[in-house]
Chain A
């Protein structure tokens, strides 16, 4: 078996700056292989978003090991972390975070025009159209977010996450603002990426969506446990 894509071991994160320091992540361990999909479920405030912050290199753990493709990256300097975020990760958020003054194509291109390498305009356009096509909205390339439905906007956000061919997709409640039917379409788009070898970590409250992932983990009081009966 090949080395895991992501390997967390003993990750802890303590929230300081309050009267009583609060442990958000308490010895979290998680392994994800290429093409694998993992759901993380838990109550609000259980530390799901903090775990995603650590996974996405937005934040550093206080202790523990974080290996990406067998490289230790728990304490990377910001410049290298930014480079890895660009090359290895794709992010999808609950609120789509599309810039309203840009078209769909420009919003997707945002991930390519980020100072991490330069693509000529034609190549950039091809990559953007390819990503929009993967999520089935290439025909909306020139539309601005205000003229699109929630599902379409989220698919633009997924295209933005996919445009650099990431190794890992991190999705933080991507269906939270969508109706069930649209949410299902969005999960379909995310799972399609795993078929191309991309790892998927989905934070969700929705049990149905969690059930469609390869594995499900419960995060309770900062401790992550795999739900054995999930599959």
Chain B
């Protein structure tokens, strides 16, 4: 071990001396390798950023892989049936959606139809059995949100990120003033429009005053608010939450193998309702696509890297040719053959590492510039951090290029006969 350490340190000292003595050559090798390593860094950075952004939001919106989801066609009786079946259970959560307007009484919302607040989806409509008609009334300070009533904590299936405040507590006595947790878009709307909070929900017996308790990131672009079902049903019959005329939604999220699925499906069938059930595999599918794309880009980056390796190899062979006397002399003073090979490899490895450091630096700076220039229009690139995986990929690429580019010169150096010195 001690001998190995001595040899390693010897090769490091001699390698550094060699690099210092041939700065221009080292720089040329670095230039030829730079683009290749940078390509690897950029591909890995791009892939990591895309993966982080896409996969993180994917789980927020679609749920964890392996979650069973049952989409139930909206039907008033179905809502009662589903909520009655899952009440008190922890392996399944029902999500019932309805539209709600929070704000000044008797005015049109600033985002009719519950559109994202910076988008215009047209005039507000009122729908019933006979169809939909535009709603009249003056425009005012009110925000339309999708109201999602929950029978339990849905975060076991969809990992909402808590941004502020607290999430819904399902263990306490239901409040008469429904407690709402907003998503980011809804929070943005209420930040811009500080309104007297009266909530209008179609079919409710009265308009109620809600309490905002927290904000989560649920990956949804539409303003949405989450509420305990039992707090909402104090003012609104459950059946109204799945009214097809008011754009109701009914969804069940369950753990794989939960008996709820079979029971609910059988009961719904008896009502003539055909639910659609599936297992969430979005992450797996997205990862497959991303892996394929990453492989294609890495193959291209690898080609660029190979050109850099050829550059190091070329410079390395020329340098060994010039240093024949030095290597023979080193052997004459007792340096073993493999240490000579080690010296050449250390030089190319250090060259690869220096290049990797430069490429990573360029990557970090480039990402910062891109984030500053297009971050406002492209949320994916806003305040984005340089992924550590790209740094590791750059270092690995530099080391691999160093080994590949230095291997043949190292063998040549190790094979130089000492007699060369004697006859010189």
Contacts and interface: CB of A to CB of B under 8 A. Distances in A.
Interface of A: 49, 52-53, 56, 58-59, 78-79, 82-87, 91, 93, 95, 97, 99, 101-102, 106, 110-111, 113-118, 160, 164, 172
A58 B422 contact: yes
A58 B328 CA distance: 10
B13 A113 contact: yes
B424 interface: yes
B10 A118 contact: yes
B16 to A, nearest CB: 11
Top 10 nearest A-B pairs (CB, nearest first) are A86-B334, A118-B6, A101-B21, A58-B418, A115-B339, A115-B7, A114-B335, A111-B333, A85-B334, A82-B336
A49 B418 CA distance: 12
A101 B9 contact: no
B413 to A, nearest CB: 14
Contacts of B21: 99, 101-102
A36 B333 CA distance: 22
A79 B11 CA distance: 17
A97 B421 CA distance: 8
B11 A91 contact: no
A83 B337 CA distance: 11
B326 interface: yes
A164 B419 CA distance: 22
B419 A53 contact: yes
B2 A118 contact: yes
B424 A114 contact: no
Contacts of B9: 118
Nearest to B342: A115
B294 interface: no
Chain A facing B: main interface SS? loop
B5 interface: yes
20 contacts: A53-B418, A56-B418, A58-B332, A58-B422, A82-B336, A84-B334, A85-B331, A85-B332, A91-B332, A97-B329, A113-B10, A114-B333, A114-B334, A114-B335, A114-B339, A115-B7, A115-B334, A115-B335, A115-B336, A117-B3
B424 A95 contact: yes
B20 interface: yes
Contacts, number: 88
B14 interface: yes
| Chain B interface bracket (under 10, 10 to 19, 20 to 34, 35 or more) | 20 to 34
A82 B417 CA distance: 12
B10 A115 contact: yes
Nearest to B325: A97
Given A59-B419, A102-B17, A82 B335 contact: yes
B332 A160 contact: no
A49 B10 contact: no
A101 B9 CA distance: 19
Nearest to A107: B329
B423 interface: yes
A162 B347 CA distance: 29
A78 B10 contact: no
A53 B422 contact: yes
Contact of B20 (A58, A79, A101, A111): A101
B6 A115 contact: yes
Nearest to B424: A95
A221 B421 CA distance: 23
Contacts of A116: 334-336
Given A101-B17, A116-B334, 18 more contacts: A49-B422, A53-B419, A79-B336, A82-B334, A82-B336, A83-B336, A91-B332, A99-B326, A101-B20, A106-B17, A111-B334, A113-B14, A114-B335, A114-B339, A115-B11, A115-B334, A115-B335, A115-B336
